[in-house]
């Protein structure tokens, strides 16, 4: 079986090189080509001998994902459909901003969390992604960009629940932020979770990353209806874990709140949310529900959304209404389905 070096850290790559009869520095050279130079073949690794490059072709796999479709939104957002080696599909989204770009990547094919507002959840969990499959989304999209240096921000908000694939996600983020890896700033990498409390506690100890929590309700009854995970880890447990989450200076927790007409969008909901998050260093992203086929939920009127925001601002929160980028190509929050034809409603989650 061919080695998958993108799943290894720097030390493991050197150990692999030695096990293959190479020098440690040659392992570092290969790692540099993979993560910094974004090499798509060994032919590009010109500081390795021709004989070694030929030999490595038989020993190491470079490209794990196949791009089968690309769609571009009228707002410039691009959605990439990737095929995995076993025939499953995932999606990633590139979001251009004025002075940079952000990529939203997936951590699982499908999702087991069952959130009612999310298209990915309706297909169920197919499988966890490997370390390399997570990283490869960033690498392949960067290769396709005219100005790859503009890609500075990564959000793990695509298909799947990142903390349900904990070990692979942590290793992938490790290579993404490593100085000898992809060298992204930890300030520019954000992980979104539906609220797996034990893993949140582990995350704070294991790695420095921005944390976003998909909250979507301010009381247990509503949240349990929308998000089955709340029946296992209710709001009291979740908020307690977040109060203990280590935040570097000047960083905040992000709370994502998808507004659904008649479900969680009342003035009472807004006031209860303000009370719930009291004392937490946080900002709130208000996300008007993005529709998907088969869903019977709808987005509130803008007047209701603005009133909800006003109440949070009056309570001294930073509350931002997030525009649904890429909604016309089903690339907005909650719309990713991995290209599956779903018989009934089935993250960008």
What ranges do the domains of the chain cover? 5-57, 66-329
Q: How far apart are CA 220 and CA 197, in angstroms?
A: 15
Q: Are 345 and 291 in contact (CB under 8 A)?
A: no
- Find tokens 């034990």 and name the residue: 198
Q: Are 200 and 252 in contact (CB under 8 A)?
A: no
- Find tokens 């009342």 and name the residue: 266
- Write the pLDDT tens digit of every residue in 44-54: 999 999 999 99
- For residue 54, the surrounding DSSP H or E stretch is helix 50-57
- Tell me, what DSSP letter sits at residue 87? S
The set of catalytic residues is 91, 333
Report residue 180 as tokens: 């000898």
Q: Bin 316: left if φ > 0, else alpha if -120 < ψ < 50, else beta.
A: left
- Find tokens 């200076």 and name the residue: 249
Q: How far apart are CA 199 and CA 314, in angstroms?
A: 33
Q: Are 33 and 44 in contact (CB under 8 A)?
A: yes
Q: Within a 10 A sphere around the Cβ of 104, how many other Cβ atoms?
A: 28
The domain 5-57 having CATH identifier 3.40.50.720: the answer here is: no
The three-class DSSP label of residue 174 is helix
User: Which of 228, 262, 233 has its CA nearest to residue 121?
Assistant: 228
Q: What is the model's pLDDT at position 245?
A: 97
Q: What is the model's pLDDT at position 333?
A: 72
Q: What is the model's pLDDT at position 63?
A: 87
Q: What is the model's pLDDT at position 122?
A: 84
Q: Within a 10 A sphere around the Cβ of 166, how many other Cβ atoms?
A: 18
Residues of the chain predicted below pLDDT 50: 341-349
Q: What is the CATH number of domain 66-329?
A: 3.20.20.70
Report residue 202 as tokens: 């582990």
Q: Bin 298: left if φ > 0, else alpha if -120 < ψ < 50, else beta.
A: beta
The three-class DSSP label of residue 198 is helix
Q: What is the model's pLDDT at position 331?
A: 60
Q: Within a 10 A sphere around the Cβ of 304, how many other Cβ atoms?
A: 18
- Find tokens 């929160």 and name the residue: 317
- Tell me, what DSSP letter sits at residue 249? T
- For residue 135, the surrounding DSSP H or E stretch is helix 131-144
Q: Which residues are annotated as a binding site for [4Fe-4S] cluster?
A: 111, 115, 118
- Write the pLDDT tens digit of every residue in 273-300: 999 999 999 999 999 998 777 778 999 9
Q: Are 89 and 110 in contact (CB under 8 A)?
A: no
Q: Which residues are annotated as a binding site for S-adenosyl-L-methionine?
A: 160-161, 192, 214-216, 290
Helix extents (H) in 214-280: 220-226, 235-243, 267-276
Could you give the angle at the alpha carbon of 274 between the alpha carbons of 271 and 280, nearest 5°?
Answer: 170
Q: What is the model's pLDDT at position 345?
A: 31
- Find tokens 């989450």 and name the residue: 245
């Amino acid at each position: 079986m061919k080695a998958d070096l993108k799943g290894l850290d720097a030390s493991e790559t050197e150990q692999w090189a030695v096990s293959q009869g190479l020098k440690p520095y040659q392992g570092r050279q290969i790692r540099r080509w993979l993560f910094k130079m974004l090499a798509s073949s060994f032919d590009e690794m010109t500081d390795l001998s021709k004989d070694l490059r030929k030999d490595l072709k038989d020993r190491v796999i470079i490209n794990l994902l196949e791009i089968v479709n690309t769609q571009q939104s009228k707002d410039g957002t691009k959605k990439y459909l990737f095929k995995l080696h076993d025939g499953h599909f995932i999606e990633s989204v590139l979001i251009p901003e004025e002075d940079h770009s952000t990529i939203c990547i997936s951590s699982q094919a499908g999702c087991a969390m069952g959130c009612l507002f999310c298209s990915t959840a309706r297909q169920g969990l197919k499988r966890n992604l490997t370390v390399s499959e997570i990283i490869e989304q960033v690498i392949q999209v960067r290769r396709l960009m005219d100005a790859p240096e503009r890609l500075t921000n990564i959000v793990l908000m695509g298909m799947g629940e990142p903390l349900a694939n904990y070990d692979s996600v942590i290793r992938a983020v490790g290579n993404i932020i490593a100085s000898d890896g992809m060298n992204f700033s930890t300030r520019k990498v954000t992980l979104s979770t539906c609220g797996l409390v034990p893993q949140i506690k582990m995350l704070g100890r294991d790695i420095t990353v921005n944390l976003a929590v998909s909250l979507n309700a301010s009381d247990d009854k509503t949240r349990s209806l929308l998000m089955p995970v709340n029946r296992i880890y209710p709001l009291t447990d979740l908020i307690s874990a977040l109060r203990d989450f280590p935040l570097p200076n000047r960083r905040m927790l992000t709370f994502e709140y998808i507004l659904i007409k008649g479900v969680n969008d009342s003035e009472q909901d807004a006031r209860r949310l303000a009370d719930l998050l009291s004392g937490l260093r946080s900002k709130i992203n208000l996300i008007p529900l993005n529709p998907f086929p088969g869903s019977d939920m709808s987005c509130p009127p803008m007047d209701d959304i603005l009133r909800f925001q006003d109440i949070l601002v009056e309570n001294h929160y930073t509350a931002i209404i997030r525009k649904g980028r890429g909604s016309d190509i089903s690339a907005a929050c909650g719309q990713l389905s991995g290209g599956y034809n779903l018989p009934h409603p089935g993250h960008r989650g």
